[in-house]
Every structure is written in C-alpha cells, then in structure tokens.
Amino acid sequence: MENGEAVNEESAPSVEEEMLQAIEGLEQADVTEESSTSAPDGETVEDSGSDTEEVEAREEQKEELIPKSSFTRRINGLQASRRKAEARAMDLEKRLAENEALLGELRQRFDDRTSRLSAYEEEDPRDAEIERLRFQQAQAERMRQYQEQSYQAQMERQRTEAVTSRADEIVNEADQLASKYKTFSPEELVIGYSKTDGMSMSQIASSLHKQRVEAYKVILAKNGSSSAPKPMRTQGSRSAIVGNSHEDMLTFLESMGE
C-alpha cells in the first residue's frame, strides 16, 4: 500500500440482518416446491392400510432430508466467506511483513547516506533531527494503516463465525420442533420466524401446529365419505385409535392439538 492511501470503512450489516436475508432467499424455492407437491382441490383419496403406511414413510423420509438440502447453500456460503476473510488476513499479514522489511532497508539506506554525508561536510544537527522525525512519522502512519486493516479483517472473521453459529442454532431448533409436531417442515418454521417479531420459535411452532390441526379438521368434515375409514395403526409415538368412525378420527386430531 502506498503512503497516504485512505482506508475505507464499510458499515457491515448486523448478524441478524445477514441471517434473515439469507433465510428469506429460501422462501421462493419453498413456495415453488410446496405448490408443485400440493394436491388439487376436491380430490378424494381412498385410504388403505398399505397405502397409508407407504405415504407416511415417504413423508417421514422427506422431513429428514429437508434440512440437509435446504441449508447446504447457506452454510457453504458462510464457510466461503470465512475462508475469504482468513485469506485476506493472511495477505495483509504478508504485506505487513514485506513493508517491515522495506522499512528496515530504507532505514539502513538512510543511515548509510547520513554516514557518507558526514564524511564530506558538516551537517546541521537540526536537519538530521528533522529528517529522523519525518521518517518516524511516515513509519508510524504505515503501521497504523496496516494495524487498522488487520483489525477489520479480524472483526469480519468474528462476525462470520457468529452468523454461522446462530444459523446452526436456528436450524437445529427448527428440526426439533418439526419432529415434535409433525405438521410442518423446518423451512416453514424458519421462514415464519424470520417474518415474526416478539415471538420465540417454540411459540410460532405451537401456533402453526394448532392452525394446521384446525385445517385438517375442516378438510375431514368437508370431504369425509359416508363409509368409515379403516383403522389407523399406531406408528412411533402416535396415540392409539379405538374404532374406525369419523368421530374417532376427529378425536385423534384433537388429541394431537393438546
């Protein structure tokens, strides 16, 4: 870096702003995926024991794969930013070492010139002192500039690490809540969290779960057939269903909402 070069300070976005901007980028892809997989209105699905088990198995497998496929791009981007900041810091340190070597060489040349001049003419001590002060000031300015650049690189690394850590916490919490309620995907919960103020992720998950359960009740009441569905077997931690009537199905959905 040449003498006098100004250091431009850019106001870095906050950790939460960068995290929310990255998460909102997934919204369009989630809406497209959800619209392509939704069933047409008015379509009646006939239940069977084997079909139900197969559909649920596919849904559970899809829920397990969603976080890995949706957040890979964001995590890779954060890691790339961190590597870029580290490379920039290493470059600054290398340039600082080169400039220190250059300053040492200039100091040696200055001493040599001073010694040669003193051999031919009598110098004014005040001129030598002025020259020494100017040299010290220029050296101090260079050191200040490189120290400031090193500090900015360090702050950028810390900010990137904080964003990565916070993103991991949000992903893990969304996975746990989605596994607990089983009525929404982790992406839906993360998008809702990014667009809601004053509510924790667990509160948003509980509210979203209640809304989904109520919607399921309306769908069953609207599209229910005259014949009772076949009994549903319990899977995992689901509650057992006694009977196979329409009322039993509503009772089961109400138990999920508690």
Give mean pLDDT, residues 114-138: 78
Is residue 101 domain-resident? yes
Residue 238 has pLDDT above 50, yes or no: no
Range with lowest mean pLDDT among 11-20, 35-44, 56-65, 78-87: 35-44
Is residue 89 domain-resident? yes
Q: Check residues 111 and 18 and name the one with the higher pLDDT.
A: 111
Domain ranges, residue 55: 15-26+48-182
Give mean pLDDT, residues 159-163: 86
Is residue 111 domain-resident? yes
Is residue 234 domain-resident? no
Distance CA 248, CA 244 (A): 6
Closest of 206, 214, 216, 211 to residue 181, by C-alpha: 206
Predicted TM-score (pTM) of the model is 0.33
Closest of 215, 231, 219, 218 to residue 44, by C-alpha: 219
Domain count, the chain: 1
Residue 149 has pLDDT above 50, yes or no: yes
Is residue 257 domain-resident? no
Give mean pLDDT, residues 99-126: 78
**What's residue 21's pLDDT?**
61
Q: Are 243 and 231 in contact (CB under 8 A)?
A: yes
Give mean pLDDT, residues 193-215: 87
Give mean pLDDT, residues 197-209: 88
Distance CA 214, CA 254 (A): 9
Distance CA 57, CA 124 (A): 93
Range with lowest mean pLDDT among 91-95, 118-122, 168-172, 181-185: 118-122
Is residue 256 domain-resident? no
233-237, long-range: CB within 8 Å, 24+ apart, which pairs? 233/49, 233/53, 235/53, 235/56
Is residue 254 domain-resident? no
